[in-house]
Structure 1
Amino acid sequence: MKLITKLVITTILIYPISLFAQGGFVNDGSIIPSSESNYTKVITVSEAKKQADDTFVLLEGYIVGKAKTINAEEFMFKDDTDTIKIEVNQKVWRNQTVTPSTKIRILGQVDHNSFVGTTEIEVRQLDIIKD
């Protein structure tokens, strides 16, 4: 009985330590992110509209107003080249307040709607650019 008790106590004490021993991702150098990746290279709205469906793009510009749709999460985003509709879910805002004069950087996914012939960006991350 003492042996079983010792085994149970040892297991209880060692098991939680093994939970913390799990590692995360470490880049061993075998895969080096490309500097030309759309995740690191800012492109224009005009270029984003030409990207394939579901491509991730990084854009800088301004939200100039609400989109004229019934979806409260849709806005119009503008840079020096063009304007595009973006969809920003509530969790993406992260308690940030943005006005039309606030320059932002968005990472999002291109969404071509071939049925109505429109393109929009589904925003995954939104950051305010501090000058």
Structure 2
Amino acid sequence: MSGMISDDLDALQARFPACGTLAYADVSTGTVLVTNSATPLERHGLNQIGAEAALLFRADGEPLLGMAPARLALVSTQDAIRIFLRSDSEPNDGLLCVGEPGLDLARFLPEARACLARIGEQD
């Protein structure tokens, strides 16, 4: 099954080359489960974004900010943007992206959300 997930991540990355790393993760534990084939991140970098996702999405279910658990978090620097999506149907499933600041978010986010939904159906 991880091959099919990797294929989905590779297809999304092919449509959005500015997104160098895509990862399917268990955001409750911060564990990266599968990445796109061409990710430039080593295991340590993947562990870091997994831990960041767990912090942002709070494993205990309590919202970090506001009244409801977050479904999207963005962290932007001069050099990169990190995007964290939580599944609408399975709150422990997430899609993590590390990309270039020029990534077209208006186009990327709906396709990333659809990719995460497809992956969730494979589980």
**TM-score, normalised relative to structure 1:** 0.27
- If each structure's strand is expressed as a fraction of its own residues, which one has the higher value? 1
TM-score between both structures, scaled by the size of structure 2: 0.28
> Larger radius of gyration, structure 1 or 2?
1
Q: Could you say which structure has the higher helix fraction?
A: 2
